[in-house]
Amino acid sequence: MKRAFYSQIPYPVLILALFMVGIFALTQGAYSISWRDLFLSSMNDIDRQILMTVRLPRLLMAALVGAALAVSGALMQALFRNPLADPGLLGVSSGASVFVGILIVLNPLADNLPLWAQSYLQSIAAFLGAVLTCWLIFQLSKHKGQVSVLHLLLAGIAINALSGSATGLLTYVSNDEQLRALTFWAMGNLGGARWEQVAVIASILLPLLCYAWRQSKNLNLLLLGEEEARYLGLDVESFKIKLIAIVALCVGVTVAFTGLIGFIGLMVPHLIRMLFGADNRIVIPCSALLGASLLTGADTLARLLVIPAELPVGLVTSLLGGPFFLWLLLKNIRETS
Amino acid sequence: MLNISELTLIRSGKNLLENVSLSIKPGQLTIILGPNGAGKSTLLKCCSGALQADTGHITLDKKLLSNWSLADLAKKRAVLTQQIHLPFALTVKEVVSLGLAPWALSDQQASKLIHDTLIEVGMPDTETRQYASLSGGEQQRIQLARVLVQLFADKPSRTKTQSQEGKYLLLDEPISALDLHQQQRVLRLLKNLTQKGLGIFCILHDINLAALYGDKLVLLEKGKVIFNSEPKRLAQGKQIETTYQADLIRLSHPDTQLPQWQFKQ
């Protein structure tokens, strides 16, 4: 595979891209703000109000969630030694969503709690769901001490199907209001991001992302295989558990706040590897940057396409992800033939 | 010294290893021979710490192998397993540099060491090539370079005479995919390394190469050690013929007088 000349300078390119997408996201929408005003800080009060209470928290939320989803994808791909591993494909997100669904519909204790506590409670539920599914998948796909790809995908299909039916059951027993919350949430949505939520999300995701970056050398060892990684001094068993915990936390938190947003974890690390190589010391931080740009861009598109309404962002990422996946498949077929 | 004493390993009612005792001494190339399924790779996995035997014990420098930390062990011995498939597109340099994980080398030192080691394994100036685009034999030599840099990273600017005493290399069929020229190159390289004090445990299939290059041969059959001595001692008994159950004639190498075997036809 050939790498382009810019493979030497991944960070400036990606940071510039994120910056530009950010400006685009802040200025465009049902109400546009001139970018000149933004730079010169010569906005009027309405501009400033919209920027500070609506656009900026939403931008930060999208960037954080995008980065976390992309990095979780890269982590799972290293863990399973398979470029197709993705939290969505393997059922981690849908497993997490069942738990949130239970919380929304059965609503045992959430109503009386303050908003921030409700956010945390949803996160905890989603996290538990994600951990449980990650653990299940890992146990099911183990074959003679190695994680078998076939078992992995089968486990993912089974868990996705089970989660689907559980969510269906929840939909069936829910009332109208819950139903709307459930369906809207299931399609992924970044609307209504508030500063408190951004604070909660940032307090959980930023340390995780930094930790993942620090582990990139060990992730590289895992690419050789578990046995070889052990010979090179890595405590593989405890490292795998750490990775599963990070992925489950990232996916759990993002699912809790924004619902199901697919394909970021699959698309972003793949693109990064194509452009800049498969060294995880590059893949992890670059995936975070590109994931942030991609989800911010997709969210802005979701706001722009059907003004004054907006599309669920999960719909937009699937719309991008489906063709991407097909293109990947066709490219693969062409390369092997 | 890597000392294996009375090792027994039973899996699903079958004795994979039975009362195996041997030692890998510094400065010696110990070659493990045996038919398919004799327990060679199992023995290697026990010696590298990946498998725990049921009875018996292994010591490395008089300390139980299980008492070594993974990090210390990684600086003390390197292991090359058979056929490593990489799922992602890494370059040769990226693959070899994985061997430096236990150490903290500057980029410059690392590049130099990788460059020199690639020359030693006969793959000079291949750093930027894609690992996946190489042939099986080339990939095998890249993996050999990876375990070599793992062992030598603490002495990156090594000279011909620098001692490597106290380090061990465990290799599972390191020349299985190599052509004749490369087999000779790798075996000579291993021989050279033993002269610097390295202890090498190497599984081979070719009994003739084993007899030519090995300081000590260990013949395994059904998990038991049948023979454990210098190659020339094999010229006396019938161990090779009976263990492999093949119709062989024994010859003597014209230069070294070491035993060699040929098919009767």
Structure tokens at B63: 């300390």
The pLDDT value given to residue B87? 84
CA distance B191 to B169: 12
Nearest CA in chain A to B51: A227
pLDDT at A83 over 80: yes
Which residue from B86, B89, B102 is facing A232, i.e. has the nearest CB? B102
Residues A8-66 have pLDDT tens digits of 678 888 999 999 999 999 888 878 887 777 777 777 888 888 888 889 999 999 999 99
Is residue B85 within 8 Å of B77, Cβ to Cβ? Answer: no
Is residue B253 within 8 Å of B260, Cβ to Cβ? Answer: yes
Is A228 in CB contact (< 8 Å) with chain B?
yes
Indicate the pLDDT class of residue B165, thresholds 50, 70 and 90: confident
Residues A198-229 have pLDDT tens digits of 998 899 999 999 999 999 999 999 999 888 99
Mean residue pLDDT of chain B comes to 90
Q: Residues B98-121: what's their mean pLDDT?
A: 91
Is A224 in CB contact (< 8 Å) with chain B?
yes
Name B15's Cβ contacts closer than 8 Å, sequence gap at least 6. B8, B9, B222, B223
Nearest CA in chain B to A85: B87
The pLDDT value given to residue A327? 86
* A81 contacts B98? CB cut-off 8 A: no
∠ Cα A275 A298 A97 (to 5°): 100
The pLDDT value given to residue A229? 94
Q: Residues B143-156: what's their mean pLDDT?
A: 88
Nearest Cα neighbor of A70 from A58, A57, A53, A88 is A88
Contacts of B50 in chain A (CB under 8 A): 227, 230-231
Contacts of B98 in chain A (CB under 8 A): 220-221, 223-224, 232
Indicate the pLDDT class of residue A1, thresholds 50, 70 and 90: very low
Which residue from A220, A224, A235 is facing B70, i.e. has the nearest CB? A235
* B102 contacts A224? CB cut-off 8 A: no
Most confident of A2-11, A48-57, A62-71, B251-260: A62-71
The pLDDT value given to residue A3? 46
CA distance A52 to A48: 6
pLDDT at B56 over 80: yes
pLDDT at B84 over 60: yes
Share of chain A above pLDDT 90, in %: 29
The pTM of the whole model exceeds 0.80: yes
Contacts of B102 in chain A (CB under 8 A): 232-233
Residues B239-251 have pLDDT tens digits of 888 898 888 889 9
Q: Residues A247-263: what's their mean pLDDT?
A: 85
pLDDT at B157 over 60: no
The pLDDT value given to residue A7? 54
- For B206, the enclosing helix (H) or strand (E) is none
Residues A149-194 have pLDDT tens digits of 677 778 888 888 998 899 888 888 888 878 877 777 777 778 777 8
Indicate the pLDDT class of residue B158, thresholds 50, 70 and 90: low
pLDDT at B114 over 50: yes
Is residue A285 within 8 Å of A212, Cβ to Cβ? Answer: no
The pLDDT value given to residue B152? 87
CA distance B76 to B46: 16
- Backbone phi and psi for residue A313, each to the nearest 5 degrees, phi listed first: -65, -30
B 96-115 residues with CB < 8 A to A: 98-99, 101-102
Of B98, B127, B143, which to mutate for an interface test with A (greatest number of A Cβ within 10 Å)?
B98
The string of DSSP letters for A43-77 reads --HHHHHHIIIIIHHHHHHHHHHHHHHHHHHHHHH
Is residue B189 within 8 Å of B117, Cβ to Cβ? Answer: no
User: Which residue's entry shows tokens 């293109």?
Assistant: A327
* A232 contacts B99? CB cut-off 8 A: yes
The pLDDT value given to residue A2? 42
* A228 contacts B84? CB cut-off 8 A: yes
Is residue A127 within 8 Å of A248, Cβ to Cβ? Answer: yes
ipTM of the complex: 0.90
Residues B191-212 have pLDDT tens digits of 999 998 899 999 999 999 999 9
Q: Residues B116-144: what's their mean pLDDT?
A: 93
Which residue from B74, B89, B95 is facing A231, i.e. has the nearest CB? B74
What's the CATH code, domain A10-336? 1.10.3470.10
Mean residue pLDDT of chain A comes to 84
pLDDT at A147 over 70: no
SS3 category, B18: strand
Q: For residue B8, what are the β-bridge partners?
A: B55
* A224 contacts B86? CB cut-off 8 A: yes
In angstroms, what separates the C-alpha of A160 from chain B's closest C-alpha? 25
- Backbone phi and psi for residue B216, each to the nearest 5 degrees, phi listed first: -145, 140
Pairing of strands B259-263, B224-229: unpaired
B 161-200 residues with CB < 8 A to A: none
Is residue B34 within 8 Å of B45, Cβ to Cβ? Answer: no
Contacts of A231 in chain B (CB under 8 A): 48, 50, 73-74, 78-79
Is A146 in CB contact (< 8 Å) with chain B?
no
Nearest CA in chain B to A275: B89
Q: Residues A320-335: what's their mean pLDDT?
A: 82
Which is higher by pLDDT, B68 or A31? Answer: B68
The pLDDT value given to residue A4? 44
Indicate the pLDDT class of residue A252, thresholds 50, 70 and 90: confident
For chain A, the structural domain boundaries read: 10-336
Residues A222-243 have pLDDT tens digits of 999 888 999 999 998 889 888 8
∠ Cα B29 B186 A278 (to 5°): 115
Nearest CA in chain A to B147: A232
Is B254 in CB contact (< 8 Å) with chain A?
no
